[in-house]
Each structure stands twice: as C-alpha cells, then as structure tokens.
C-alpha cells in the first residue's frame, strides 16, 4: 500500500509512481510491496529517501524532483528492503557510503530505472 503524505502530487504522477513500485516489487520478488510516503520536505537525518528496517516504511523527498528521479530513490530503498528480506536481520545492513549494501542499492536502482524506462519510454518525459 502506497501513501502520499504531505505532498500534493498530480494524479498522473501518482499513477506512474504506483506503476513503477508494482514493476520494481515484482522484479525484485519482494514478499511485501512497500509503504511509501512522498514528502514535500526532508525530515531530520534524511537525504532524498530513507528505509525504516523496523516498520519497512519508506520516506521519499519529492519537492521539485522529476518523477524518474523520485522513482530512482524509491528503487534504491526497495533494494534495501530486498537486502533486509534476504538477510532476515536488519542489523547486518550497512548503509554507509561505499559499503557493499549501499553500492548494491545504487547500482541495482539504476538498472531498475533503465529497465522500466525501456518498457515505458514516456517515463523520462514526465
């Protein structure tokens, strides 16, 4: 279940983000689709997105970002969700810059965006 808190987002953008989350969830074989809160401003300690290993919820900054950039942040956090799912123990996730988990999330998120964009070329125009 996706949620759109604190951000007035256009219906077409909402549909595109939902479609991307469905695409990525299926591709990653996630046990559960994520709950994603789209925010208009950063919360303390947040960069452009965060994944809570306890609740499994994600928060993603929308602001004035392009839809594909928002989706890339969502994809990055979904990779962390997959890592957590595979490890079964969130204490082993290392989100430090340059760590294997963070590098994997960066690389695979980019691949997911490109795969989605190839199937949905209009994605980059939104």
Q: Is the pLDDT of residue 28 over 80?
A: yes
**Where would I find the beta strands (DSSP E) of the chain?**
35-39, 49-51, 57-61
Residue 90 is predicted with a pLDDT of 67
| Percent of residues, the chain, with pLDDT higher than 90 | 40
Residue 5 is predicted with a pLDDT of 46
Residue 25 and residue 78: Cα distance in Å, rounded? 8
Say what the pTM is.
0.86
Per-residue pLDDT tens over the stretch 90-122: 666 667 677 788 889 999 999 999 999 999 988
- Domains of the chain, start order: 11-125 (3.30.2010.10)
Per-residue pLDDT tens over the stretch 36-67: 998 888 888 888 898 888 888 899 998 788 88
**Average pLDDT, rounded, for the chain:** 84
- What's the rounded mean pLDDT across residues 78-82? 92
Which among 9, 10, 124, 19 is positioned nearest to 74, based on CA atoms? 19
Q: How far is CA 12 from CA 8, 114, 126, in A?
A: 12, 20, 9
**Residue 81: strand, helix, or coil:** helix
């Amino acid at each position: 279940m996706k949620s759109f808190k604190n951000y007035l987002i256009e219906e077409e953008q909402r549909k595109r983000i939902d479609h991307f989350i469905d695409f990525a969830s299926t591709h990653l074989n996630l046990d559960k689709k994520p709950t994603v809160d789209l925010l208009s401003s950063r919360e303390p300690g947040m960069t452009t997105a965060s994944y809570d290993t306890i609740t499994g919820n994600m928060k993603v900054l929308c602001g004035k970002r392009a839809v594909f950039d928002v989706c890339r942040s969502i994809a990055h956090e979904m990779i962390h969700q997959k890592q957590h799912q595979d490890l079964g123990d969130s204490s082993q996730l290392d989100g430090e810059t340059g760590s294997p988990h963070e590098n994997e999330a960066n690389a695979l998120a980019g691949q997911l965006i490109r795969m989605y964009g190839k199937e949905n070329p209009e994605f980059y125009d939104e």
